[in-house]
Chains A and B, each alone.
Chain A
Amino acid sequence: MSDLQSPASTGTAGKASSDAPVKATAGGDAPSAQAKSGRSFLPRSTLLRHLLVLAACAVLAVVVLEITSPFQNSQLATLTYYAIAAGGLTVLTGMNGQISLGHGALMAAGAYTTALFLDAEEPLPLPVILLAAIVVATAIGALVGVAAARLHGPYLAGATLALAVGLPGLAIYFHDTFGGEQGMRVRAPQAPEWFGSFIDAVSGNSASSTKWLAYVGAICLLITYFFLANLVRSRIGRTWRAVRDQEVAAELAGINLGAWRVLAFVVSAAAAGLAGGVLAIVVRLAAPSGFTIVLSLSLLTAIVIGGLGSLLGALLGSALLVFLPPFVTNLGGDFGLSQTEAAQLAPFVYGVVLIVVMIFVPAGFVGTIRLRWMTRKAKRAMAQAGADGASSRG
């Protein structure tokens, strides 16, 4: 794990390092859409720009969900909850330089809240329930955040690890409320009638419950990423990056390090809570075995592979998490492996991918592409400047 933490904690151990903008988080540091370049058709206001992107993504989501098969719909539903949690985590780790191995536990808090509310005779409307999941996870996140703000690097990893291991244990201890090891079965909410007519109008496909859950996930994902993207581009995001890159400088500038760290943790926990809520209705179960340390580590690997600090990277990393194992398993089957061997191949290949990414593209997919692109632009600018200088002299 230390390999995964080091990029995040570089330079945050109280020392002011000179190479502040960390390479590993390059994916998160470039503006999300071009605002300053003269060629852009996008408006200058961040909010407007993000609203436009949101609308485009919503259309894209509908198109993708309508041209894919029911099974791919269910995979996309899975993708949404991973991506929501990974988005929150990438803001925490990539933007604020804190590491969390406890996001699986925060998801559990959201999932159990959702399960408890849906268990009622007359369940509240789904948005209210998901909001409650966010509130509960946020409260836990605030508590943990207060402790986390005082810790660095491996100590922070250790404390959040304890959360990941301990919190699901509560479900087993309070067996009567949370259903123990077997967990709580969740009756997935039925699709409202307007959904059926909407799908009918858009594509004529049948509006199955799988599709409805995929849409719920997609809506939650878009809203979450919209909020996070705005937050990251705002004063708050800049302050977080200042805290991450230069603690001493940030403190000298009047930034209260602890308070901003807690805020980052709270925002990240809120996303994890929503992800847990979506997970509960998609999986139809909230059980301790679904929130093991493996979940927290998967989220971390997803954001590292995708590119720390980048929401697009978090989405790509989550997609790898969802689509790679079945792909590898089926490929293994095609190459004549037995089904057991093919299944065992999937975690192996995922590990190999992780190692390869760490060695060859340490800034993750998105980070590396952005680095390349920025380097090329800088080189071109240098060459341009050089040419200008030469011509003016001549």
Chain B
Amino acid sequence: MTTIAAATVLSTVAACGGSDDSGGASGGGGGENEASDIGVTETSIKLGGHYPLTGVAAPGYSEIPTGLDAYFTCLNQEGGVYDREIEWIFRDDAYNPTQTSQVTNELVLEDEIFAMVSGLGTPTHSAVVDFLNDEGVPDLFVSSGSLLWGDNPEEYPMSFGWQTDYMSEGKIIGEYIAENFPDAQVGLFLQDDDFGEDGEAGIRQYIDDQIVAAERYTPGNTNVGPQIAALQAAGADFVVGFNVPSYTALSQLTALQLGYDPQWFYSNVGSDPTLVGGLLNRFSEGQVSDAALLDGALTTGYLPTVDMTDNPWIQEFQRIWDECGGEGELTNYRVYGMAQAYTVTQALQAAGQNPTREGLVEAIEQVGSEWEGPVFAPFRYSEDSHMGTSGMTIERIVGNGSEEVQPVRVTDIGDAPIEEFDGEPATPPANAIPDEEAVN
């Protein structure tokens, strides 16, 4: 009897001690830091990701891991997570699935990462999603809006989406057009894969009868003349593009040549004005010098952008970039990376003092939907859904920035309704380091 009582007292004391001095997050498991799983030591947690650092997809995307890097560097200076430093490794896959598979093998088997974070690209990450789930490696916050990572947690229990999926984005765009441009003749300019398909499925839920043409382009084929001419011939005066940035530039230049001037609406992926401006300059060999062509085009947003200099998150991220970042300016891609790093930190804190891979996944499922951060709308994480954030604003591009024309609305995949988001925008905690309670 006495022994049991003594043991209980001891463990209670230990638990209290843990919650007193853990600093970064209260209510931890208590006791000492342990090497609780692969990639976790008493003093570090190893995370990894794959990105196109070389090759055609590198401009823009190669900046995302540097954003995560800057955030983790500053986080480590403030004590990391439960006094563990984040060790962040990212490797180049040149946007080639064969190489993604090789570098993921290297990250999982050689570097022995605790979790994959922010692996970039739909075709590239498709090549490794089975491997990661078979090996039981948490696959957090894939940098792609495909439904694949989140809509079927039974198939991929370790994978989580992060950004708004393309179908929800399509729905919000469709509803906006139905309400604000009820007479518009809408043409769709779509990338011929899941990206365009999911977007089209979403948008057709609201304005199927307004759509006069849907044209598809194949990535890699740089002549979009036939598609743009077909949209013009069909009489479309409002064109919605689900395309990547290089095709935003190509469609703008082609329309300019054809004397075609509809209202443009580009999905979030293809609308970064700085990147598109640079591409326009390159493709037109200097004849178009900046993103002025994009002025007045509509787009969507789920994260603050660098032009919002009075947004407290952007101010914090700017500070982090200045203190802990490398060369170059803070860009929207780096903001994206830092915002992901913020969510990763929340997840690691929630997973407790001695996290395990399964515990991490469980923690995200249990409390991930309550996390606040730089992302406008909450995540949809639960046992039944691993989908990322659910809401978007509608914005109009002005110069190299944008102004909001419709506040955040949230929805879900399938025929879930669209609702106005009534939550307040979150303000960053001190040093932009979250303070989540451990759930297990």
Q: A residues touching B (Cβ–Cβ < 8 Å)? A: 69-71, 74-75, 78, 169, 172-173, 175, 180-183, 185, 187-188, 209-210, 279, 282-285, 287, 289-290, 292, 294-295, 322, 326, 329, 338-340, 343-344, 346-347
B194 CB–A CB distance under 8 Å: yes
Q: In whole angstroms, how far apart are the Cα atoms of A182 and B318 in the complex?
A: 35
B106 and A71 contact, CB distance less than 8 A? yes
A340 and B192 contact, CB distance less than 8 A? no
**Contacts A71-B105, A282-B101, A285-B101 given; does A343 touch B92 at CB 8 Å:** yes
Instruction: Return the chain B residue nearest A74 by Cβ.
Output: B105
**Contacts A182-B126, A284-B130, A346-B92 given; does A279 touch B54 at CB 8 Å:** no
B110 and A183 contact, CB distance less than 8 A? no
B102 and A175 contact, CB distance less than 8 A? no
Of residues 77 through 117 on chain B, the ones whose CB sits less than 8 Å from some CB of chain A are 89-92, 95-98, 101-102, 105-106, 109-110
**Contacts A78-B102, A344-B53 given; does A285 touch B110 at CB 8 Å:** no
Q: In whole angstroms, how far apart are the Cα atoms of A279 and B106 in the complex?
A: 17
**Contacts A285-B126, A292-B96, A347-B54 given; does A210 touch B91 at CB 8 Å:** no
**Contacts A74-B102, A282-B101 given; does A183 touch B123 at CB 8 Å:** yes
Residues of the A chain whose Cβ atoms lie less than 8 Å from the Cβ of B326:
338
Contact of A210 among B89, B109, B191, B220 (CB under 8 A): B109
A289 and B192 contact, CB distance less than 8 A? no
B65 CB–A CB distance under 8 Å: yes
Chain A: minimal CB distance from B45 (Å):
17
B193 CB–A CB distance under 8 Å: yes
Q: In whole angstroms, how far apart are the Cα atoms of A207 and B194 in the complex?
A: 36
Chain A: minimal CB distance from B135 (Å):
9
**Per-residue interface assignment for chain B, residues 218 to 248, with 1 indicating a CB less than 8 Å from any chain A CB and 0 otherwise:** 1110000000000000000000000000000
Residues of the A chain whose Cβ atoms lie less than 8 Å from the Cβ of B367:
none
Contact of B90 among A78, A169, A290, A339 (CB under 8 A): A339
A71 and B109 contact, CB distance less than 8 A? yes
Task: Identify 16 new A-B residue pairs, CB closer than 8 A, beyond the known A71-B105, A340-B66, A346-B92.
Answer: A75-B102, A180-B194, A181-B219, A182-B123, A182-B193, A185-B130, A209-B134, A284-B101, A284-B127, A284-B131, A290-B96, A290-B97, A290-B127, A326-B102, A339-B65, A339-B91
Q: In whole angstroms, how far apart are the Cα atoms of A188 and B130 in the complex?
A: 9
Residues of the A chain whose Cβ atoms lie less than 8 Å from the Cβ of B101:
282-285
Q: In whole angstroms, how far apart are the Cα atoms of A331 and B174 in the complex?
A: 51
Residues of the A chain whose Cβ atoms lie less than 8 Å from the Cβ of B356:
none
Range of interface residues on B (Cβ < 8 Å):
35 or more
Residues of the B chain whose Cβ atoms lie less than 8 Å from the Cβ of A289:
95-97, 123-124
Instruction: Return the chain B residue nearest A290 by Cβ.
Output: B98
Contact of B126 among A185, A282, A343 (CB under 8 A): A185
**Per-residue interface assignment for chain B, residues 16 to 52, with 1 indicating a CB less than 8 Å from any chain A CB and 0 otherwise:** 0000000000000000000000000000000000000
The 6 closest A-B pairs by CB, nearest first: A343-B92, A71-B109, A71-B110, A285-B127, A74-B105, A343-B53
B92 and A183 contact, CB distance less than 8 A? no
**Contacts A69-B110, A182-B193 given; does A340 touch B53 at CB 8 Å:** yes
B62 and A340 contact, CB distance less than 8 A? yes
B402 CB–A CB distance under 8 Å: no
Q: List 12 A-B contacts (CB under 8 A).
A: A71-B110, A74-B102, A74-B105, A172-B218, A180-B193, A181-B122, A182-B194, A289-B95, A338-B326, A339-B69, A340-B66, A340-B92
Among A180, A289, A294, A295, which residue has the most Cβ atoms of chain B within 10 A? A289
**Per-residue interface assignment for chain B, residues 64 to 76, with 1 indicating a CB less than 8 Å from any chain A CB and 0 otherwise:** 0110010000000
Chain B: minimal CB distance from A342 (Å):
9
B96 and A181 contact, CB distance less than 8 A? no
Q: In whole angstroms, how far apart are the Cα atoms of A78 and B99 in the complex?
A: 10
Chain A: minimal CB distance from B64 (Å):
11
Q: In whole angstroms, how far apart are the Cα atoms of A285 and B121 in the complex?
A: 14
Residues of the B chain whose Cβ atoms lie less than 8 Å from the Cβ of A329:
91-92
**Contacts A180-B193, A182-B193, A290-B97 given; does A343 touch B54 at CB 8 Å:** yes
Q: B residues touching A (Cβ–Cβ < 8 Å)? A: 53-54, 62, 65-66, 69, 89-92, 95-98, 101-102, 105-106, 109-110, 122-124, 126-131, 134, 191-194, 218-220, 326
Q: In whole angstroms, how far apart are the Cα atoms of A175 and B219 in the complex?
A: 13
**Contacts A71-B110, A287-B127 given; does A183 touch B102 at CB 8 Å:** no
Chain B: minimal CB distance from A299 (Å):
13
Residues of the B chain whose Cβ atoms lie less than 8 Å from the Cβ of A340:
53, 62, 65-66, 92
B97 and A287 contact, CB distance less than 8 A? yes
Residues of the B chain whose Cβ atoms lie less than 8 Å from the Cβ of A69:
109-110
Instruction: Return the chain A residue nearest B111 by Cβ.
Output: A71
Q: In whole angstroms, how far apart are the Cα atoms of A56 and B48 in the complex?
A: 39
Q: In whole angstroms, how far apart are the Cα atoms of A74 and B127 in the complex?
A: 14
Residues of the A chain whose Cβ atoms lie less than 8 Å from the Cβ of B122:
181-182
Instruction: Return the chain A residue nearest B53 by Cβ.
Output: A343
Instruction: Return the chain B residue nearest A169 by Cβ.
Output: B218
Chain B: minimal CB distance from A190 (Å):
10
Among A187, A283, A347, which residue has the most Cβ atoms of chain B within 10 A? A283
Q: In whole angstroms, how far apart are the Cα atoms of A175 and B218 in the complex?
A: 11
Chain A: minimal CB distance from B113 (Å):
12
Q: In whole angstroms, how far apart are the Cα atoms of A338 and B109 in the complex?
A: 22
Instruction: Return the chain A residue nearest B191 by Cβ.
Output: A181
Instruction: Return the chain B residue nearest A185 by Cβ.
Output: B126
Chain B: minimal CB distance from A247 (Å):
38
Residues of the B chain whose Cβ atoms lie less than 8 Å from the Cβ of A346:
54, 92
Residues of the B chain whose Cβ atoms lie less than 8 Å from the Cβ of A282:
101
Residues of the B chain whose Cβ atoms lie less than 8 Å from the Cβ of A322:
102
Residues of the B chain whose Cβ atoms lie less than 8 Å from the Cβ of A344:
53-54, 92
Chain A: minimal CB distance from B97 (Å):
5
A187 and B130 contact, CB distance less than 8 A? yes
Q: In whole angstroms, how far apart are the Cα atoms of A185 and B66 in the complex?
A: 30
Q: In whole angstroms, how far apart are the Cα atoms of A182 and B95 in the complex?
A: 12
Chain A: minimal CB distance from B105 (Å):
4
Residues of the B chain whose Cβ atoms lie less than 8 Å from the Cβ of A290:
96-98, 127
Among A180, A322, A329, which residue has the most Cβ atoms of chain B within 10 A? A180
Instruction: Return the chain B residue nearest A172 by Cβ.
Output: B218
Residues of the B chain whose Cβ atoms lie less than 8 Å from the Cβ of A183:
97, 123, 126-127
A180 and B192 contact, CB distance less than 8 A? yes
**Contacts A169-B218, A340-B65 given; does A210 touch B105 at CB 8 Å:** yes
Chain B: minimal CB distance from A210 (Å):
7
Residues of the B chain whose Cβ atoms lie less than 8 Å from the Cβ of A187:
130
Residues of the A chain whose Cβ atoms lie less than 8 Å from the Cβ of B109:
69-71, 74, 210
Residues of the B chain whose Cβ atoms lie less than 8 Å from the Cβ of A175:
192-193
Residues of the B chain whose Cβ atoms lie less than 8 Å from the Cβ of A74:
102, 105-106, 109
Chain A: minimal CB distance from B139 (Å):
14
B193 and A181 contact, CB distance less than 8 A? yes
Q: In whole angstroms, how far apart are the Cα atoms of A182 and B166 in the complex?
A: 15
